[in-house]
Structure 1
Amino acid sequence: MQGVGIIGAIIVGILAGYIAEKVMSRSHGLLTNLIVGLIGAFIGPFILNVLNLMPTSAGFWPSLVVSTVGAVVLLFILGLFQKR
């Protein structure tokens, strides 16, 4: 997450986790959303670089989009391992 700082990274992580939670129809708490969003911030750039879709600009909104993509992928992968 370039250009957002530590407080911005926490806010982006919480928002990305929350958006991913809603997209994947899950129910988590604030701390889980933060963790999912921050892990998504590491997964998202990797996936988008492989697909050659990485945004060229830095800041809050591009970081939020990339982190949300990573968080949704993380929740999808975790859902594959959960018992139903």
Structure 2
Amino acid sequence: MEGLGWIAAIIVGGIAGWIASNIMKADTGVFLNIVLGIVGAVVGNAILGVLGLNAQHGSWIAQGFVGLFGAVILIWLYRAVAK
């Protein structure tokens, strides 16, 4: 996320995490939403890298979608492991 910077990554990550928690009907707090969004963006970028795609230097919107995708995956994995 070097194209956006840390402050922007936190903002985009927070928004992506919040949207993901609403999509997945997860009962998480603001801090966990931010963490899920940021980690989700990292996971999403890693998955895209394996597929040969690169969204790291993309726009806020591209990073938001990558963060959302990654956060949804993280919430799904958390639920699968927690059962």
Distance in 2 between residues matched to 1:22 and 1:56, nearest whole Å: 25
**Residue in 1 that maps onto 2:50:** 50
**Residue in 1 that maps onto 2:31:** 31
**Residue in 2 that maps onto 1:71:** 71
* AA of the residue aligned to 2:43: I
The 1:79–1:56 alpha-carbon spacing in structure 2 relative to 1, beyond 3 Å, is closer
**Residue in 2 that maps onto 1:15:** 15
TM-score by length of 1: 0.85
CA RMSD of aligned residues (A): 1.7
Distance apart, 1:6 and its partner CA: 1.6
The 1:55–1:10 alpha-carbon spacing in structure 2 relative to 1, beyond 3 Å, is closer
Moved over 6 A (4+): none
Q: How many residues align?
A: 83
TM-score by length of 2: 0.86
User: Could you list the runs of 5+ residues in structure 1 that have no partner in the other structure?
Assistant: none
